[in-house]
A and B are shown apart, each in its own frame.
Chain A
């Protein structure tokens, strides 16, 4: 086995360990709730009067079958892991008999559509702002730096609340609720798309501003470090123009930021749950929020395991990336993180 394979195997074992820990927490913690969770939920359903005797028994049976609740706990855990391995997240309590997979599948695209562009655009703009602040210095730097610092330290849901109030209530430019007009049915017409974009703007802005701020602060200090490098002085000394010099700085300061981008994309699913809650935007966050309110544990567990798998997966890919680069570079860069 060569060094690279050993490195990857070692990493893989770590991530499997992390996954097992997360899966155990995911499985056992909700089981600490006193009483059989099925009893709890069935009792709740009876309270709200929604489900009749026959349906209730079916729920009971489904759940008993899925997790073998009459079997020993470890066997149940085995069943859970095997279900997970088959990509089966179980059945929702709250929306019985909907499959958790389907609930997540219908909300995940909204989250991705909201988060992925925000992360990528925030990353790009933040990097550009950071480099310019570092290179230009002076008043531009001070304004950009202080602004970015303030934005990135603002809890993202606070900014969401402020934007929601400012631009859909105080100055009603944008809709305040949902992912599209409640009356409309999703289709590909221009009117519907415009409607979707209108609903999209504020949640997107609330995320992208915070991301720009955070990225700019990080990139600025990286670029300041890069600016003091000898090659920058040399290029200037030979009369090379600002544009070309900034390009070199940008490229070099950018390389380490790619890790940050990959991590941000990995934490995309769980990264902005509250934005969706504030804007009542469809997506994983809203699904989770509803599930928590309804004690819909299978859905809660489905979301948490999804968030975990995405983050672990992204980390693992980054590690493979580092492994593919020269091992010396890898070890040096890992040390910095």
Chain B
């Protein structure tokens, strides 16, 4: 598969109270045409921050300190932050936000947002045209067109999320960044949203999805490849099978171990199985950021950051792998 998008050396921090929260540290990723890249990790490890950066939607207090994105041959300087042209957003890369249940303005009908989005990218579009376009898109995807007339409180949670999905992809963006789009939904609504995303991909409305979740079973179903994030860094990346069946990083192993506890509704729960909690990113641990919680930690781990062992396609950042190699 062809490479669609590449980001390199992304470092970003929140400036709060005179200090920096180093939420994303030296992240590089590639995304291929037609794939779903899963991004997993505990709460607070920087997934949403990375999503905001990928969606080109950063704004203070979040500052991108370094990094660039290559998309369709164009190079975008991510450090521009809020200075990036707004036209890129929604058109080239779009976001399906976390907590999407509140993503609709409570006092506006759905069609208002659809019009705002279309108008933002096609200044000459008429209201009626915009409504018609959205109506067609809804119907193609098997959603009732009447939702256009509705206010958010008139829609169920699952319907709201699907409507938001349609709006996010109204402009046929290349990449959709979906930040925990299903976390707040019940099981059947989750299925409906995942189904909708797959349809969008199959029909080539969008070319690729970055799907963020903090639980792995869901990613196992939908993702082609999975990246595991810990404390602002990518700890491990690989194909769906490689990550789920042959994890190499102790953090990935712990994540999977904590999830494979045979509980029927485990995906509803937060990842709790790993002892301790993610570090305070205002002053992350030295060396490997996982070392205070790692049961394999060696002296070296607290001193030097482990490099990424493997290829850009399949690596893990852990000193244990060095030992294997030598």
Interface residues of A (CB under 8 A from B): 137, 229-231, 233-241, 244, 248, 251-252, 255
B120 touches A244 (CB 8 A): yes
Q: Which listed segment binds A: B97-105, B129-137, B214-222, B231-239? A: B97-105
Interface membership of B244, Cβ < 8 A = no
Interface membership of B90, Cβ < 8 A = yes
Complex: A235 Cα to B100 Cα, angstroms: 12
A238 touches B90 (CB 8 A): yes
User: Which of chain A's residues have a CB closer than 8 A to the CB of B102?
Assistant: 229-231
| Minimum CB distance partner of A230 in chain B | B102
B113 touches A235 (CB 8 A): yes
Interface membership of B16, Cβ < 8 A = no
B86 touches A239 (CB 8 A): yes
Q: How far is the CB of B124 from chain A (nearest CB, A)?
A: 14
Given contacts A230-B103, A252-B105, A252-B107, contact A235 B116 (CB under 8 A): yes
Q: A230-B100, A234-B164, A237-B90 are in contact. List 20 more A-B contacts (CB 8 A).
A: A230-B99, A230-B103, A233-B57, A234-B103, A235-B113, A235-B116, A236-B86, A237-B52, A237-B55, A237-B94, A238-B89, A238-B95, A238-B117, A238-B167, A239-B86, A239-B89, A239-B90, A239-B117, A241-B86, A255-B107
Interface residues of B (CB under 8 A from A): 52, 55, 57, 59-60, 86-91, 94-95, 97, 99-100, 102-108, 113, 116-117, 119-121, 164, 167-168
| Between-chain CB contacts (< 8 Å), 22 pairs | A230-B99, A230-B100, A230-B102, A230-B103, A231-B102, A231-B103, A233-B103, A234-B95, A234-B103, A234-B104, A236-B57, A236-B59, A236-B86, A237-B55, A237-B89, A238-B117, A239-B86, A239-B90, A239-B117, A240-B90, A241-B86, A252-B105
A237 touches B57 (CB 8 A): yes
A248 touches B108 (CB 8 A): yes
A241 touches B120 (CB 8 A): yes
Complex: A101 Cα to B86 Cα, angstroms: 62
| Minimum CB distance partner of B177 in chain A | A237
Complex: A241 Cα to B91 Cα, angstroms: 13
The residue in A229, A235, A236, A237 that gathers the most chain B C-beta atoms within 10 A of its C-beta is A237
A230 touches B91 (CB 8 A): no
| Minimum CB distance partner of A244 in chain B | B116
Q: Is the interface of A mostly helix, strand, loop or mixed?
A: helix
Complex: A269 Cα to B180 Cα, angstroms: 55
A252 touches B89 (CB 8 A): no
User: Which of chain B's residues have a CB closer than 8 A to the CB of A251?
Assistant: 107
User: Which of chain B's residues have a CB closer than 8 A to the CB of A235?
Assistant: 105, 113, 116
Q: How far is the CB of A329 from chain B (nearest CB, A)?
A: 10
A238 touches B168 (CB 8 A): yes
User: Which of chain B's residues have a CB closer than 8 A to the CB of A137?
Assistant: 60
B117 touches A240 (CB 8 A): yes
| Minimum CB distance partner of B168 in chain A | A238
Complex: A310 Cα to B91 Cα, angstroms: 54
- Pick the contact of A236 from B89, B105, B113 — CB < 8 Å? B89
Complex: A271 Cα to B57 Cα, angstroms: 46
B117 touches A237 (CB 8 A): no
Complex: A241 Cα to B119 Cα, angstroms: 9
Complex: A237 Cα to B168 Cα, angstroms: 9
| Minimum CB distance partner of A252 in chain B | B107
User: Which of chain A's residues have a CB closer than 8 A to the CB of B55?
Assistant: 237
| Minimum CB distance partner of B55 in chain A | A237
User: Which of chain B's residues have a CB closer than 8 A to the CB of A239?
Assistant: 86-91, 117, 120-121
Complex: A203 Cα to B144 Cα, angstroms: 58
| Minimum CB distance partner of A241 in chain B | B120
User: Which of chain A's residues have a CB closer than 8 A to the CB of B88?
Assistant: 239
Complex: A255 Cα to B105 Cα, angstroms: 13
Q: How far is the CB of B170 from chain A (nearest CB, A)?
A: 8
Q: How far is the CB of B110 from chain A (nearest CB, A)?
A: 12
- Pick the contact of B105 from A231, A237, A238, A241 — CB < 8 Å? A231
User: Which of chain A's residues have a CB closer than 8 A to the CB of B117?
Assistant: 238-240
- Pick the contact of A230 from B60, B94, B97, B121 — CB < 8 Å? B97
User: Which of chain A's residues have a CB closer than 8 A to the CB of B104?
Assistant: 231, 234
| Minimum CB distance partner of A238 in chain B | B90
Q: How far is the CB of B101 from chain A (nearest CB, A)?
A: 8
A252 touches B90 (CB 8 A): no
User: Which of chain B's residues have a CB closer than 8 A to the CB of A237?
Assistant: 52, 55, 57, 89-90, 94-95, 97
A238 touches B94 (CB 8 A): yes
Complex: A237 Cα to B91 Cα, angstroms: 10
| Minimum CB distance partner of B108 in chain A | A248
Complex: A231 Cα to B13 Cα, angstroms: 23
User: Which of chain B's residues have a CB closer than 8 A to the CB of A248?
Assistant: 105, 107-108
Complex: A229 Cα to B105 Cα, angstroms: 9
User: Which of chain B's residues have a CB closer than 8 A to the CB of A255?
Assistant: 107
Q: How far is the CB of A234 from chain B (nearest CB, A)?
A: 4
Complex: A234 Cα to B181 Cα, angstroms: 13
Complex: A12 Cα to B133 Cα, angstroms: 50
| Minimum CB distance partner of A235 in chain B | B116
Complex: A102 Cα to B102 Cα, angstroms: 56
The residue in A230, A236, A239, A244 that gathers the most chain B C-beta atoms within 10 A of its C-beta is A239
Q: How far is the CB of A239 from chain B (nearest CB, A)?
A: 4
Q: How far is the CB of B66 from chain A (nearest CB, A)?
A: 22
